[in-house]
Amino acid sequence: MKSCASAFILQNKCQEEISELGKDLMVNLFGGRSKDTLSSLRHIIFTKKVATAKAFVTPERLPPTSPATTFHSLRVYYQIMVWMGMTNDMNPTDWGWKEESHQLIPVMTEKNDAPDELLKVIHCNYSAGCKSSRCSCRRYGLPCTAACGPSAKLKTLTISTTLKRLY
């Protein structure tokens, strides 16, 4: 772990190397073995939690995905280079950041939270509108759709049962 972490203070590392080092560090942090990949470790931990869980297994308790770890690692490396005054010609948008309204915003991942087909059927049953934190769509960081509310025709799945099926 120390050798992986120490590489983050070396100048002129390529994005692929930083990504791989970050994934190796994350595997180590979550108790994986050196031969484990982040994806395989995520699967192993998920299946163990499902086998022993008495309730819904929350994704927050799992290791992050490989794409999320890649972007996190790139941002960490860029931030360290900024602190050390070694950014030279580094463009933050190449290192896990995007620019919006003249501000740098972290890129969390390139993929959606769920497949588009699933996001189309996810909805809440909250009758008072989707402005409150009681709205399950807002709680899960998803936009409310025309299917939201108690009188919508597409009430076949609620967000909680849909997400349970995902995990």
Q: With beta carbons less than 8 A apart as the criterion, state whether 121 and 154 touch.
A: yes
Question: What pLDDT shows up at residue 156?
Answer: 39
Question: What pLDDT shows up at residue 161?
Answer: 53
Q: Is the pLDDT of residue 21 over 50?
A: yes
Cross-strand pairs, 97 = 106
The residue type found at 104 is L
Taking only the tens place, the pLDDT of each residue in 110-144 is 877 666 666 666 667 666 666 667 777 777 777 77
DSSP notation for 52-118: H-SSPPPGGGSPPPHHHHHHHHHHHHHHHHHHTT--TT--GGGTTEEEETTEEEE---SS-SS-HHH
Q: Find tokens 């972007």 and name the residue.
A: 71
How many CB atoms neighbour CB 108 within 10 A?
Answer: 15
Q: Is the pLDDT of residue 74 over 80?
A: yes
What's the start-to-end Cα distance of the chain, in Å? 30
Share of the chain above pLDDT 90, in %: 48
Question: What pLDDT shows up at residue 58?
Answer: 78
Question: What pLDDT shows up at residue 135?
Answer: 76
Banded pLDDT at 31 (limits 50, 70, 90): very high
